[in-house]
Structure 1
Amino acid sequence: MKKLLGLLVIISTAAFSRELTLESAIDLALENGKTIKTSELSKENAELNVKRAFKTALPKVTYNGKYEKAEHTTRNMIIGDLEEAKFKSGYTQTIGIYQPLFKGGAITGGIIGAKASKNIADIFLLSEKRDVRLDIISVYSSIINYEKDLTVLESSMKELQARYNKQAEQLNLRLLTKADLLKTEYSILDLEAQITGTKTNLEIAKKDLKLKLMIPTNETLTLKEFQVPENLTAGIDFDRDLNQALTNSLSSRLASNKVDYAEAERMVARSSLLPEVEAFGTYGTAGEKRDFEDGFDNAEWRGGIAVKWDVFKFGSDLDQYNVAKNSEKIENINKDLTSDDIKLSVTRDYKELIRLQQLRDSRSKALEAARENLAIDTERYNTGLISTVDFLLSESQYRQAAVDYNSAVLNYFVAFEKYRSALI
């Protein structure tokens, strides 16, 4: 029975635990992200709008039916010796086919605008995926960083606690003073506060990651550590990357398509100043009658060309056209501003990447020096050559150097991914 209960506990624990790698976390975010799903639906709508825009150039079939009831009967109509009956109600109906021949560029503008809108939706979806990927990398890296810091702090706590116990024995033997013991006790309490803060940050970061990945909060999450390459900047050609970002990045393509969309809007606005021409053919009973007695017995075919032109509208259509022209100019200006922003952001991200690489190297040396110094000071303290204060300072410096190095490595990795994202 005990074995069965133990097996059930193991199965239950496994069912509510999950192990993730950085790659699997990114894949899960791309699969379950709510913002990505909304972008996918927007893309689907944009594709449907392109189909709608093309269909406006095709003929349409329209049925018109009308039933009327009048207050008075119609006048008598005498044909020969027959007198037609009086009617107070009746109906007319037609079915027709209509083919637009000229709409002042509205159809072409609509198609161009729909294509530009589709491209914008595609770019937004790719941008969302890029941003989600970078966000997961940042959160995942912060969790790994907190876990590494916690390992360093707990290891330091274990050593300090052992040192404190030994000092308590030495105090009983009057081999050191109460002040020395209090200094170690203070260091332990300070370290406990750091551990508590790190655990809190770790817990919050894991909850954040679970929300982004749509993982139930009751699941235990284990993240596998990843290796950060030594020299991420080795294959970077800044000039080539900058040119790539200016010509083919998502930001530059978005700006270009916004210009195309504004141009299409101007074409549509211009069409309101021009006449509309369409060919039509109808069959039915829509002709003028002196009574309501209509039916398909006297239906007829009609066809021809129809022209519609709003000749005067107090200039509202011209105002609309001028607004569209100004909007196109605005998007062209925004396109230039986007190029400036790309140059600035890519340059800033590259410089930050170089700085963090140098910082990581310096933190690595600082950690190496602090480790050596702690080993020496531990030996000197054990032989009574240095005070408790000096030893605790050395231990604190080593601990901080380890924490700083962990942070520098992961910040360096995130900065590299941010630089890469700026080029996409």
Structure 2
Amino acid sequence: MSMSSRFMVIFSRLPFRLGAPAPGPESMKRGLPPYPAPGGLPATSLRVDFVRPIGYKKASTGLEEATFHGIEVEALSKKNRGRPSLDSSLSYQVRRNGSIDSPRASSRKDAMNIIHRGFRALAAGLLLSMLVPACGAAQSAEPALSLKETIEFALKANLQIKRSGEDINAAQANRSSNMTNFLPTFGTSYNAIHRNEERTSPSLLSGRDIVTSPEDQYTFTTSFTQPIFAGFGIINQYKISELGLDRAETSAKITRQDVILDAKNAYFSVLKNQKLLEVSQQTVTSISSQKEVSENFYKVGLSPLNDLLQSQVQLANARQQLTAAQNNLEIAKTQFNTVLRRPVNTPVSLLQELDYTSYTETLDACLATAQKNRLEIQVADMDIEIAQKQVKLTEKDYFPTVNLTGAYARTGDDWQAHGGEGISDSAGWSVQATATWNFWEWGRTGYNRKEKLARLAQSKYKKSEVQDAISLQVKQAWLRTKEAETNIVTIEKAVEQAKENLRITEEQYKEQVATQTDVLIAQTLLTQTETNYYNALFDFKIAQAVLFRAIGQETLE
């Protein structure tokens, strides 16, 4: 640290706007803060300003003063031909808002302590400036997720997609089951009969008793049944199961598209609330600095009390909005983690998506694309086909059922059924065709058919409802996309205008040309404009994602 009668260098970490000119003595005379804090960014600077305190008369004291924030500074005498004299110095306590306490006498030892404190502050500031980036790098070690990665993680973890996969497995099993109805059925049976005594009867030729039924009788039978005609019931049932499999696969694709949309909504909601939180933080910082300026002006009588009260009320409102923005961001992160099926408190780091591409498709083109691509319409068509097949399935009872059956039987008086005494035919086989027809059931078949026809009509009405709903969804999504896109173009210019308006108003207030109310209005205008811009930007991205879903277009980015 070097000192002379003209300057003294002291380290300080202060909020100031980058590139802003250093205030001169004249501004300090009027009680303005040495740094234009509103809207500024924290930075580290080595700064020296020589000003005169308010109400200070150089001729009476012969001293010049150095003013800094938050550090005691030395007022050095100009005796001994301009060489600094620590024996005859005055110490000033300068607050962060720029106000100066009354001077107090200081000894050489006190002055040296002040210098040592300055060195310690400098060392601590340098150490802090090196540690903060290191801590930030450690916290950002987890890679940020892109939109594509978010969608892929959501698709892998989503339970609805897993349930859809099980629906497909069930439909495949049902189809395979109905396939077996075309094939013959094989069966076997084994019977054992024990009688209280064997049955005999006299022989017509010899007159002796012969065994007609042994005391123990065993029968082994093997049979098959092959459907020949079932009134087209088997083929219709199989076609219904095939349609059910197609429907399950299409429904799984619909679920996939819904998950993609949910992932996009969660992703852009987090980014949107992050930007709104930044706006709220900047607003609180700017209004806090403006409140300090108002306090300084009020203390020296340059502004009335109501200006200070206005800034305090505005700051309280800004802090309330900041709290709401913080909570909204946490809720958005929780929803994001829920979509990815991660613990709700998992840190969320996302790549910024601040660019946008204008959407050029017309509404008619989107409507045509939706009617062609929407899977919900395909599902509705499948439901109609299933209902038609079910009508034909009920008509099977109008026809007889024809089956071909065959059997091989073996009978005996031992457990191996190898014949024996009293067994006239120990083994044999037979084939027969059987036709069965219930020709009168009191209108049961007709009533069942009427029920299925009513279900068919419902399916057709449902398809019309789906088409109307899709057209409505497409138009709403298209209009919202165009609205958000128009707002982006409009507000993008307004943000720069609001920033410049705030800067000019702040400068005018420092020169006492504008009032405190003007500054607060300008700050509110900037906050609202930035909020509208980020709302429009991410509303456009969300609306475009909804539009892609509405027209049945699957995109991962």
Specify the TM-score bucket, using the shorter chain as the normaliser: 0.7 to 0.9
SS at match of 1:272: helix
Considering only CA atoms, is the larger Rg found in Structure 1 or Structure 2?
Answer: 2
The whole-number CA distance in structure 1 between the counterparts of 2:189 and 2:449 is 33
Instruction: Give the partner amino acid of 1:133.
Output: I
1:194 aligns with 2:194: no
Helix, strand or coil at the partner of 2:144 = strand
Q: Deviations over 1:218-268 (max 9, x none)?
A: 43221221134241x12x244343223223320110111001111111121
Structure 1 stretch 15-24 or stretch 269-278: which is displaced more? 15-24
Could you tell me which residue of structure 2 aligns to residue 299 of structure 1? 427
Does the CA-based 8 Å contact 1:66-1:93 persist in structure 2?
A: yes
Q: Does 1:380 find its partner at 2:508?
A: yes
Q: How does 1:57-68 map to 2 (within 5 A)?
A: 57-67=182-192
Structure 2: runs of 5+ lacking an equivalent: 1-134, 420-425, 553-557
Tell me, in whole angstroms, the C-alpha distance in 1 between the residues paired with 2:398 and 2:414: 39
**Aligned-partner SS, 2:471:** helix
1:176-325 to 2 correspondence within 5 Å? 176-231=303-358, 233-234=359-360, 236-285=361-410, 295=417, 297=419, 298-325=426-453
What does 1:158-169 align with in structure 2 at a 5 Å threshold? 158-169=285-296
Once the two structures are superposed, the pairs formed by residues 22-421 of structure 1 within 5 Å of their partners are 22-67=147-192, 75-78=199-202, 81-84=208-211, 91-231=218-358, 233-234=359-360, 236-285=361-410, 295=417, 297=419, 298-421=426-549
Q: In the TM superposition, what is the alpha-carbon distance from 1:329 to its structure 2 partner?
A: 2.1
* C-alpha distance in structure 2 between counterparts of 1:366 and 1:124, whole Å: 45
CA contact (8 A) 1:56 1:107 kept: yes
**In 2, distance between residues paired with 1:24 and 1:379?**
47
Amino acid corresponding to residue 269 of structure 2 in structure 1: S
**Structure 1 Cα separation of the partners of residues 139 and 498 of structure 2:** 41
Task: Check whether the contact 2:498–2:529 (CA below 8 A) recurs between aligned residues.
Answer: yes
Alpha-carbon distance in structure 1 between the residues aligned to 2:354 and 2:418: 82
RMSD, matched Cα: 2.8
Task: Output the amino acid matched with 2:370.
Answer: A
Distance 1:413 1:254 in 2: 28
Deviation readout 1:325-356 (Å, 9 max, x if unpaired): 22112212322332233223222322222222
Distance in 1 between the 2:217 and 2:279 partners? 92
Distance of 1:307 and 1:16 partners within structure 2: 78
Unaligned stretches of 5+ in structure 1? 1-9
Q: Retained in 2: the 8 A contact 1:273–1:318?
A: no
User: Which amino acid in the other structure matches residue 204 of structure 1?
Assistant: I
TM-score for both structures, normalised by structure 1: 0.88
The one-letter code sitting in structure 2 at the alignment partner of 1:252 is I
Asked whether the 8 Å contact 2:182–2:227 carries over to 1, the reply is: yes
Higher relative CO (CA 8 A, sep ≥ 6), structure 1 or 2? 1
User: Which residue number in structure 2 is paired with residue 5 of structure 1?
Assistant: none
Higher helix content, 1 or 2: 1
Alpha-carbon distance, 1:194 to partner: 0.7
Give the match's secondary structure for 1:84.
strand
Q: Residues 196, 29 of structure 1: CA spacing in aligned structure 2 closer, same or farther, 3 A cutoff?
A: same
Aligned in 2, Cα 1:161/1:248: closer, same or farther, shift over 3 Å?
Answer: closer
Identity between Structure 1 and Structure 2 (%): 21
CA contact (8 A) 1:17 1:219 kept: no
Structure-2 change in CA distance of 1:86 and 1:316 (3 Å): same
Contact 1:16 1:219 in 2 (8 A): no
Instruction: Tell me if the contact between 1:63 and 1:93 (Cα under 8 Å) persists in the aligned partners.
Output: yes
Distance 1:280 1:385, change over 3 A: same
SS at match of 2:312: helix
What TM-score comes out, normalization by structure 2 length? 0.68
Q: Deviations over 1:53-84 (max 9, x none)?
A: 222112222223445677x6675455563443
8 Å CA contact retained: 1:46, 1:117: yes
Summarize the Cα distance change of 1:224–1:282 in structure 2 as closer, same or farther, 3 Å threshold: same
Greater Cα shift, 242-251 or 105-114:
242-251
Task: After superposition, give the CA deviation of every residue in 1:125-183 in whole Å (9 maximum; x if it has no partner).
Answer: 11111111111111211111110011111112112222222322332222222221111
Aligned position for 1:422 = 550
Distance 1:211 1:89 in 2: 72
Q: Tell me if the contact between 1:87 and 1:292 (Cα under 8 Å) persists in the aligned partners.
A: no
